[in-house]
Amino acid sequence: MLRAEGQNWISNLRKKWISFYLISTLAIALAIALVLSAIAVYLLHFSPWLFALVFPIVLAILLFSKPIWKTTDHDVSRFVNNQYPELEESADLLLKNELELSILQQLQRNKIENILTSLPQPKEPAKKLYLGLVILLVGLLISIGISQISLHKNEPLNFHEKASQIPAVKENIPAEISDFSATIIPPAYTQKSERKQKQFTITAETGAKVNWKIETNIGIKKLKIIFNDNEVVSLKALSASHTQWDYSKTVNKSGFYQLDLDGKKSDLYQIEIIPDLPITIKITQPKQHTTIDIGQPQKINLNVSLTDDYGINDAFISATMASGKGEGVSFTEKKLSFNTNFNNKKSIALTKLIDLKSLGMKPGDELYFFIKAMDNHGQSSRSDVYFVSIVDTAELMSLAGMTNGVNLVPEYFRSERQIIIDTEKLLKEQSSIPAQAFKNRSNDLGIDQKLLRLRYGQFLGEENETEIGGDHDDHDEHAEHKSGIEKFGDVTTIMDKYAHKHDIAEDATFFEPEMKAQLKAVLTEMWNAELRLRTYKPQEALPYEYKALRLLKDLQQKSRAYVAKTTVKTAALKPEKRLSGELDKITQPVQKMSFEQKEKRTASLKAALALLESRKTGKKFSEQDQYLLSETEKYMIGSAADHPSTYLSALSSLRKLSTTNKLIINDIDLVQQAIQNMINTEQAKPQIQSTSPATTLYQNYFNNLNKAGK
Amino acid sequence: MEFKYIAILVGFVLLAFLLYKEIRRANKARLIWRIFANIIAVCCFIFLIVPIKFETHVPQNTDEIILLTEGTNLDSIASLKGKKYTLSSLELKNTKTIHIPDLSYFLKSNPNIRKLNVYGYGLNTTELEQLKGYQVTFHPSANPRGIIAVNWPAKSKTTELLQVQGTYQNSGNESVKLLLKGLGKTVDSIVIEAKLSKAFSFKTTPKQTGKAVYELISLQKTDTLAKEPVPVQVGDQAPMKVLILASFPDFEYKFLKNWLYENQYPLAFRSQISKNKYAFDFLNTDSINLNQINTSSLKKFDILIIDEEEFAAISPSERSSIDLAVNNGMGLLIRVANVKASTTLSGKFTRFEAPVLKGKPLSLKEDYFKFSPLPVEQALFLKSNQSDQPLIVDVSGKIVVNSSINGYGKVLVSTLSSTYNWLLSGQKIDYATYWAKLLANAARKRNDIQAVNIIPQFPVISQKMRIIADLAESNQIPILKIDSILLSPRQNMELPFQWDAFYWPQKSGWANLALNQTIGPVYIYKKTDWETLKNQQKLNGTHQFIKNLNTNEAKNKLTDTVIEEEISIWWFFTGFLIAATFLWFEARILAV
């Protein structure tokens, strides 16, 4: 018995251990599954049945990761040995067959059996259990939190939408329907929770699933839903008494529907779709055309802001580099990512520094790029193409432009180039020459630059050197005139004395204003270069010099037109056939066509308008009128399927009109308005004006007047 | 010598004889009485033969009546003394008035009435006619509040603009909103401030084909003051036939050709490709020979569009036949591109060149429409002569398209050469409006077979209306029917082609008026429609009548106040009888 007691103690412990552990695992699995399915259901809008799938999977994973049921009594005894030093590492003796034990072992065994009964139960299994329960509690709290968050997030939005999108339409609901609800489950990309409404008029996002639950107060044989007047769907009865009906449909297009209860048709209800808009991309930096001059860092900073109505999934820069010139242009395409996580954010501001050098761009190359973005529904949108070009200094230095065509002012252009060459040379020699000499040469270059600037200033008609940088301070020449000897009788000198005569500098030349503006820009650059050269900073002057040269080059190109020589081979003329002036073999082309108006829509709509107008006076519809009305109805169904909010009420009014004999002016007005909208704006057509009947009297009168006039 | 003097003389002779006999009579008793009786008897006898007449001043209150007409302010007449008369058309409550069923009958039966005090809005023209010769004083009511003048075309063609114009007289203290509503939709509206008379002009394009009744509604806040019907009829008609002669094909012609083709206008297009060689397009029409333009081929077209180069290049005989065709009613549109005119017909219009405003698009306008700007540099403009009518001008008033009458027809000259830019930039409405204006203005006017006029402007239920029909032929009696009631027309004495008939409509709304074979609708108004307008017309008419009357009022006053009266002969007969009886009684009984 004693032996059994010890063994029992251990096996009890094992059972307890296993069962506690299992419960704890179950709790943990439950917690994990809860949290997962809360995320899936509330945030990703899956069915709640998902839980039934998730829970066994999690449980299975947990169980197989630690197969607790394989725990043996030996494992337990080992644990007990570890846990209780009182047992003196002899717990496994209890498990062994008593007969096989040595006397010492038996003694030891008896000893610990006594101890064992007085030992407290180990706390480990209970701890495990508590841990599991705590995890379950935390999981519960988290899942409740998630459901609260998603509700919270959607609440203000929903509230707003309900106010704006679902107008409280007064609906006529068939008397047979005792209760109904329409549940709209927006597609996942909208991240909206499902909403339930007691209204047949539906406003849903593209791809939303709409579930109708209809309860009737009496058993109905057949309940159908007719979509857009052509798609008929029979509903399945949920109950045997045929009073509960259910139908689900994914809507992608606006339209309308009506219920058909055993042949009795309800009003028309509209389905309006909120479309998913593509992402709007706004590039705030750089400008659409950017030129990088020499000396500027060959980098561009890109600032983009993206906005979408539901969420942005991805965005990247698609860049194309063009290098080479003429026929040797080569293109390389590259996809640059923004290296950020978009997380389905609704709007995001992105920045990226594009290093042109690392892209492999050389001076003279151009970069075209645009930004492509995808929203979480898979719609993509792209921005305009932006251009970045690096100025090629080598190209500027080349004399290619000089060798052909007219050279208007060659020395000036060469001079600027010369200054650049000299500056670069000076910089190269900077280390080898004394500081004073460097400064002197730099100053000399500055003087050269000034002279060049002054010469260009003459093009603009500037009078003196202070023109561009400073202001007019005085007019020396006028003072001279005063002191000069007057020539007696010289009218011009006398007049000069009294007249303040000098040209308006701006208008003195014959350049176009555009060219003048560019010339001015050149002068500014030269001035800047001169400033740096005079202050012994040739390195800083270099970019300005290059820019001045580039602008000059542009100017030069503007004033020339060049047509390359080509070889042309023409057929040999036959002089005997030329200029004979015989046209008898030429036939005159005659074209004959008749335009057929295929569409009768406008004509019948117009006739319907007049028909409704006559109905207003109380005239009943004839059979022919009914045909015209049905024709109109057909057109209106088409319009209503596209724009249910505008035409649906008119359509139901039209149906009412054609069936009842009662005269309802409001309905007629509504239909007439809708028809006018359908006709759209008409273009004016020239019409012949009519006059009173031509009688001989008028004719005679006219003829006599004509005679008298002559 | 007049009979009465003879009678008096004879009477006196008789009296003298009788008196002599009395005095000579033996029985002298009661002599004085007998003489007295004799004198009385003879005098009475004379007066029996010659009745006594005397002139007397008629007392004022007997021949002056108070006539109340529509619009009378009941408070103002309450203090008036005397009998009040009303016309049967007016119903007044709480006032003691005498109804006059017919004014002319009443005046004839009461010849002593010389003066009428008219209260209210006055009388209509036919009633005023009967008051000639009477003294009339008019106490007008305040001006009525509402539409006092209105006009719109009763018939229009598809896509034509319907323009409803008129004047609203707001005599009230609050502003009034006037709306034009039609086909279930408010088309246009205007606000008329208090104490103001304002002209309004509503424009819309009726979209129906057939009849429709628009409504002019005046609202004061939410109260509807009046709802007046505006019946409108829109009809389709055969499109005009167009001939285009081009010296060279260009975009302007190409787009115009396509546009006309798509709008189903019959169009013949000839474009020169070489000397005497042409390319022809016959669109929506049968092909005819157009190698040579002559009068008979031009008769088939309503309008000819030609550029000046082509007009100068065709032979003189062709030109003269075009001239003749225009004289007979065909429209001619000449496109010019040069300052100098090369033909006499196009030379009628003087041109000038204005400096081109660089970078400024050309903005054009016509009467009712402002076109969106054209990106062309227009330098050539037209000058207007006295007999010209400019059609299209630019914003600064320089004429781009001008027109002038030539015989029966019209000649248009246009300096604009690239209207197709509107089509290219998607401004279809502008293009259509431009060409509709030009073509409609130029094209040959179509003579109606017959025309119907109705008097008054608003024929009212159970009131006389006059239907005047103008026919092309005068030697045939037209068959005139209203809603299958046959009317008997009478011929105008001076204009043999004009016939008229009278009709008293039975019910309001649309009625069918059939003239020979054609049936046209006529709208019959209710009595209450356009009431203010009619009242204002009455007011104006009565005022005018009084003004004309005042010139001979003084003469009327004298003759009116003095009247001749006759003493009844029965008095004299009685006197004669008594006197004669006394004489006889005395001689027979007393003297015995």
Whole-number pLDDT of residue A520: 87
Question: From CA B146, how far away is CA B169, in angstroms rounded?
Answer: 5
Question: From CA A347, how far away is CA A305, in angstroms rounded?
Answer: 7
Residues B212, A613: C-beta atoms closer than 8 Å: yes
**Where does the pLDDT of residue A162 fall: very low under 50, low under 70, confident under 90, or very high at 90 and above?**
very low
The mean per-residue pLDDT over the stretch B185-208 comes to 88
Whole-number pLDDT of residue B282: 93
Contacts of B239 in chain A (CB under 8 A): 685, 688
Residues A691, B445: C-beta atoms closer than 8 Å: yes
Does A640 or A47 have the greater pLDDT score? A640
Question: From CA B470, how far away is CA B256, in angstroms rounded?
Answer: 38
Contact map slice: B 457-486 vs A, CB within 8 A: 470-474
Whole-number pLDDT of residue A565: 66
The mean per-residue pLDDT over the stretch A415-434 comes to 87
**Where does the pLDDT of residue B359 fall: very low under 50, low under 70, confident under 90, or very high at 90 and above?**
low
The mean per-residue pLDDT over the stretch A663-688 comes to 84
Residues B471, A693: C-beta atoms closer than 8 Å: yes
The mean per-residue pLDDT over the stretch B286-306 comes to 91
3-state secondary structure B47-115: HHHCCCEEEEECCHHHCEEEEECCCCCHHHHCCCCCCEEEECCCCCCCCCCEEECCHHHHHHHCCCCCE
Whole-number pLDDT of residue A159: 41
> Which residue out of B161, B162, B208 would a mutagenesis test of the A interface target, given it has the greatest number of A Cβ atoms within 10 Å?
B208
The mean per-residue pLDDT over the stretch B344-352 comes to 86
The mean per-residue pLDDT over the stretch A131-143 comes to 88
Task: Pick the residue from chain B with its C-alpha nearest to A699.
Answer: B408
The DSSP annotation for A225-248 comes to: EEETTTEEEEPEESSTTS-EEEEE
**Where does the pLDDT of residue A15 fall: very low under 50, low under 70, confident under 90, or very high at 90 and above?**
confident
Local structure of residue A328 (DSSP, 8 states): G
Question: From CA B231, how far away is CA B216, in angstroms rounded?
Answer: 10
**Where does the pLDDT of residue A406 fall: very low under 50, low under 70, confident under 90, or very high at 90 and above?**
very low
Does B259 or B94 have the greater pLDDT score? B259
Whether the per-residue pLDDT at A321 is higher than 90: the answer is: no
Interface A-B: count of C-beta contacts within 8 A: 181
Whole-number pLDDT of residue A170: 67
Residue with tokens 């009455």: B538
Could you say which of A670, A681, A706 has the minimum Cβ distance to residue B429?
Answer: A681
3-state secondary structure of A632: helix
**Where does the pLDDT of residue B317 fall: very low under 50, low under 70, confident under 90, or very high at 90 and above?**
very high
Whole-number pLDDT of residue A473: 42
Could you say which of A609, A611, A688 has the minimum Cβ distance to residue B207?
Answer: A609
Q: What is the mean pLDDT of chain B?
A: 85
The mean per-residue pLDDT over the stretch B524-553 comes to 83
A592 contacts chain B (CB < 8 A): yes
The mean per-residue pLDDT over the stretch A610-632 comes to 85
Could you say which of B213, B287, B433 has the minimum Cβ distance to residue A684?
Answer: B433
Question: From CA A501, how far away is CA A635, in angstroms rounded?
Answer: 80
**Where does the pLDDT of residue A397 fall: very low under 50, low under 70, confident under 90, or very high at 90 and above?**
low
Is residue B205 packed enough to be buried (19+ CB in 10 Å), middle (13-18) or exposed (0-12)? middle
**Where does the pLDDT of residue A493 fall: very low under 50, low under 70, confident under 90, or very high at 90 and above?**
low
Task: Pick the residue from chain B with its C-alpha nearest to A685.
Answer: B436
The mean per-residue pLDDT over the stretch B507-527 comes to 88
Is residue A388 packed enough to be buried (19+ CB in 10 Å), middle (13-18) or exposed (0-12)? buried
Task: Pick the residue from chain A with its C-alpha nearest to B443.
Answer: A688
Task: Pick the residue from chain A with its C-alpha nearest to B449.
Answer: A693
CA distances A154 to A158, A159, A166, Å, are 6, 8, 16
Whole-number pLDDT of residue B438: 92
Residues A673, B185: C-beta atoms closer than 8 Å: yes
Whole-number pLDDT of residue B255: 94
3-state secondary structure of B435: helix
Percentage of chain B beyond pLDDT 90 is 24
- The neighbouring-strand residues paired with B86 are B68, B99
**Where does the pLDDT of residue A488 fall: very low under 50, low under 70, confident under 90, or very high at 90 and above?**
low
**Where does the pLDDT of residue A409 fall: very low under 50, low under 70, confident under 90, or very high at 90 and above?**
very low
Task: State the sign of the Cα–Cα–Cα–Cα dihedral A69, A70, A73, A76.
Answer: negative
Whole-number pLDDT of residue A641: 83
Whether the per-residue pLDDT at B584 is higher than 50: the answer is: yes
The mean per-residue pLDDT over the stretch B406-431 comes to 90
Q: Give per-residue pLDDT as tens, A254-271.
A: 888 888 888 788 888 888
**Quick check: B208 and A632 in contact, CB under 8 A?**
no
Whole-number pLDDT of residue B2: 78
Contacts of A690 in chain B (CB under 8 A): 445-448
Task: Pick the residue from chain A with its C-alpha nearest to B286.
Answer: A592
Residues B185, A672: C-beta atoms closer than 8 Å: yes
Whether the per-residue pLDDT at A647 is higher than 80: the answer is: yes
Whole-number pLDDT of residue A491: 66
Burial B47-85 (b: 16+ CB within 10 A, else e): bbebeeeeeeeeeeeebbbbbbbbbbeeeebeeeeeebb
Whether the per-residue pLDDT at A485 is higher than 60: the answer is: no
* Angle formed at CA A653 by CA A648 and CA A654, multiple of 5 degrees: 95
**Where does the pLDDT of residue A681 fall: very low under 50, low under 70, confident under 90, or very high at 90 and above?**
confident
Whether the per-residue pLDDT at B308 is higher than 50: the answer is: yes
The mean per-residue pLDDT over the stretch A517-538 comes to 89
Q: Give per-residue pLDDT as tens, B375-402.
A: 888 888 998 888 899 999 888 888 999 9
Whole-number pLDDT of residue A225: 87
Give the tokens for residue A210: 């709409």
**Where does the pLDDT of residue B195 fall: very low under 50, low under 70, confident under 90, or very high at 90 and above?**
confident
A428 contacts chain B (CB < 8 A): no
Question: From CA B319, how far away is CA B325, in angstroms rounded?
Answer: 10
Contacts of B446 in chain A (CB under 8 A): 688-691
User: In this structure, are strands B446-447 and A690-691 parallel, antiparallel, or unpaired?
Assistant: parallel
The mean per-residue pLDDT over the stretch B456-470 comes to 88
Q: Give per-residue pLDDT as tens, A353-375.
A: 888 888 888 888 888 888 888 88
Q: Give per-residue pLDDT as tens, A166-199.
A: 445 567 778 788 888 888 888 887 878 888 888 8
Contact map slice: A 656-675 vs B, CB within 8 A: 668-673, 675
Residues B275, A702: C-beta atoms closer than 8 Å: no
Residues A593, B497: C-beta atoms closer than 8 Å: no
**Quick check: A258 and A236 in contact, CB under 8 A?**
no
Whole-number pLDDT of residue A384: 86
B509 contacts chain A (CB < 8 A): yes
Question: From CA A338, how far away is CA A371, in angstroms rounded?
Answer: 10
Whole-number pLDDT of residue B132: 80
Contacts of A706 in chain B (CB under 8 A): 407
Whole-number pLDDT of residue A598: 66
Residues B210, A611: C-beta atoms closer than 8 Å: yes
Whether the per-residue pLDDT at B211 is higher than 70: the answer is: yes
Contact map slice: A 609-628 vs B, CB within 8 A: 609-614, 616-617
Residues A594, B283: C-beta atoms closer than 8 Å: yes
B433 contacts chain A (CB < 8 A): yes
3-state secondary structure A510-528: CCCHHHHHHHHHHHHHHHH
Residues B213, A617: C-beta atoms closer than 8 Å: yes
**Where does the pLDDT of residue B258 fall: very low under 50, low under 70, confident under 90, or very high at 90 and above?**
very high
Q: Give per-residue pLDDT as tens, A209-247.
A: 888 888 888 877 888 888 888 888 888 777 777 788 888
Contact map slice: B 398-417 vs A, CB within 8 A: 407-408
**Quick check: A625 and A597 in contact, CB under 8 A?**
no
* Angle formed at CA A377 by CA A374 and CA A378, multiple of 5 degrees: 45
Percentage of chain A beyond pLDDT 90 is 1
Whole-number pLDDT of residue A471: 42
Q: Which of A685-699, B52-66, B406-420, B430-444 has the lowest mean pLDDT?
A: B52-66
3-state secondary structure of B482: strand
Task: Pick the residue from chain B with its C-alpha nearest to A669.
Answer: B184
Does B484 or A161 have the greater pLDDT score? B484
Q: Which of A6-15, A115-124, A627-636, B532-541 has the lowest mean pLDDT?
A: A115-124
Whole-number pLDDT of residue A482: 44
Give the tokens for residue A25: 């695992």
User: In this structure, are strands A269-274 and A289-292 parallel, antiparallel, or unpaired?
Assistant: unpaired
Whole-number pLDDT of residue A490: 63
Whether the per-residue pLDDT at B476 is higher than 90: the answer is: no
> How many residues are recorded in chain A?
710
The mean per-residue pLDDT over the stretch B155-172 comes to 87
Contacts of A616 in chain B (CB under 8 A): 213
The mean per-residue pLDDT over the stretch B113-137 comes to 82
3-state secondary structure A115-169: HHHHCCCCCHHHHHHHHHHHHHHHHHHHHHHHHHHHHHHHHHHHHHHHHHCCCCC
Q: What is the mean pLDDT of chain A?
A: 78
Residues B261, A690: C-beta atoms closer than 8 Å: no
The mean per-residue pLDDT over the stretch B174-183 comes to 89
